[in-house]
Structure formats: structure tokens, C-alpha cells
A and B are shown apart, each in its own frame.
Chain A
Amino acid sequence: QVQLQESGPGLVKPSQTLSLNCSVSGDSIHTGPFYWTWIRQSAGKGLEWIGRIDINGNAEYNPSLKSRVTISLDSSWNQFSLKLTSVTAADTAMYYCARDANTALITGFDFWGRGTLVTVSS
């Protein structure tokens, strides 16, 4: 069973950089046709796709966030990370990491982390 776990600061000051990690267990981030993804959800609002990275390290980002986002793989720790620069209060949200599968058996976000709440405030 694949498990994902987000980690990182719960409080970030405005204009600073939000950094989160997602540890993956039960599978290697370098196997299978998967995309490792970050999604966020503001209080009382819907889901917003931030971006994803494939097993070869090729990343794609939501155009609305592209200028501020970097997603990368950390093979030594079997995890992937999110960096979001120049944050404002609008970036306050629950941040989820998820696996976006593209296999013959299943596609879509089949495994999710529990989420981590990040608040942007001075």
C-alpha cells in the first residue's frame, strides 16, 4: 500500500518561501507511470492543482502559479518537494501531495497524503 506524508512549516511569513516535502512509502518514486503531484485547498473552497513531476524529473505547473513554483524529486529520500516563493495570505491553504496514476489498472489521483495546513501570516 502506497502512503504519502506531507511535512514542513505550518506558518510562513508574507513574501517568504513556502517549502514542503512529501515522503512516499510502499513504492519508489522512480517506478511506474506516475506523476507526483501537489494540490491545495483553501478554507471552504475547492481544489487547486499546483503542479506535478514525473519519474524522470520533468515538471509541469499551473500557469497561475508557474512563476513562483518549483517541484522537485529527492531520490535519496524517496520524496518530492514543493517550493512556492513570494507567498501572500492568498496562499494560506491545506496542501496535499498525491500520486496521479496513469496505468492500465487505474488513472487519476489514487493515493493522497493527509494534508498539511500552511498559514501565511506575519
Chain B
Amino acid sequence: QSVMTQPPSLSGTPGQRITISCSGTWSNIGRKFVYWYQQVPGTAPKLLIYKDNLRPSGVSDRFSASKSGTSASLAIRGLRFEDEAEYFCGAWDDSLPGRVFGGGTKLTVL
């Protein structure tokens, strides 16, 4: 059972905007930065968002993220077939202490 909670799956159609939620606690999301990772099947995860809402160089601006209290969310606008992947949220957890992840959300583009 993961420390942070994500919906197991979501689906969308090309061009649509979708959001993926990540629910945590005050020991992780509430006081620490949130990260988002994209994992295409058969490959290693890739850093998509860091420090709550910043995109690394090369990541499309179709991806954005926000945080409020102990919850965070990742938004993808203009959905494309290539966005079909699993998305994980992550953060440091002071109570562990250590890095923790959400269980992952499998996004299907129909």
C-alpha cells in the first residue's frame, strides 16, 4: 500500500484535458515538494515535474501541476496518444524518513 494515493486508472480522448490527483499527508505533500514521473511501458520513469510545478528542460508545456494542502494534481492538456503511460507522484516524507511515491495512475488514451 502506497503512502500517497492516486486513482489506479484514467482514460481520455485526444485533445482532451485530464487531471491526475495525488493525496498525501502533512508529513509529505503538506510540507515537502511534489514530483511527478511518467513511465511509458517497458521504460524507466522520467521526471516530468519538480518542486511542485516546474518542468525540466524538454518537457512539454502541455504538462502542468499544482498543490494545495496535502493534495497535488497533474494536468495534461491537448491529450495525445503518446501520453499513454503510468504517472507517479513522489515526495520526501518526514515521518519515514525517506522518499515515497503514489501507487501510480495508468492513463489510457482512447
Binary contact readout A33-47 vs B (1 if CB under 8 angstroms, 0 otherwise): 000010100000111
Asked if B101 and A46 sit within 8 Å, CB to CB, the answer is: yes
Interface of A is mostly: strand
Asked if A46 and B45 sit within 8 Å, CB to CB, the answer is: no
- Contacts known (A63-B96, A108-B35); A46 close to B102, Cβ less than 8 A: yes
- Contacts known (A46-B104, A49-B98, A60-B98); A109 close to B37, Cβ less than 8 A: yes
Which among B11-19, B46-54, B65-73, B75-83 touches the partner chain? Answer: B46-54
In the complex, what distance in Å separates the CA atom of A96 from the CA atom of B47? Answer: 14
Asked if B50 and A113 sit within 8 Å, CB to CB, the answer is: no
| Most B C-beta atoms less than 10 A away, residue of A47, A98, A113 | A47
In the complex formed, the residue of A with least CB distance to B51 is A107
B-chain residues with CB within 8 Å of residue A74 when the two chains form the complex: none
In the complex, what distance in Å separates the CA atom of A46 from the CA atom of B45? Answer: 11
| Most B C-beta atoms less than 10 A away, residue of A49, A107, A108, A114 | A108
Number of A interface residues in the complex (CB < 8 A):
25
- Contacts known (A46-B104, A47-B90); A109 close to B47, Cβ less than 8 A: yes
Binary contact readout B38-58 vs A (1 if CB under 8 angstroms, 0 otherwise): 000001111100110000100
CB distance from A102 to the nearest CB of B (A): 11
CB distance from B31 to the nearest CB of A (A): 15
B-chain residues with CB within 8 Å of residue A27 when the two chains form the complex: none
Binary contact readout A19-58 vs B (1 if CB under 8 angstroms, 0 otherwise): 0000000000000000001010000011111011000000
Is the CB of A106 closer than 8 A to any CB of chain B? Answer: yes
Is the CB of B2 closer than 8 A to any CB of chain A? Answer: yes
In the complex, what distance in Å separates the CA atom of A47 from the CA atom of B50? Answer: 17
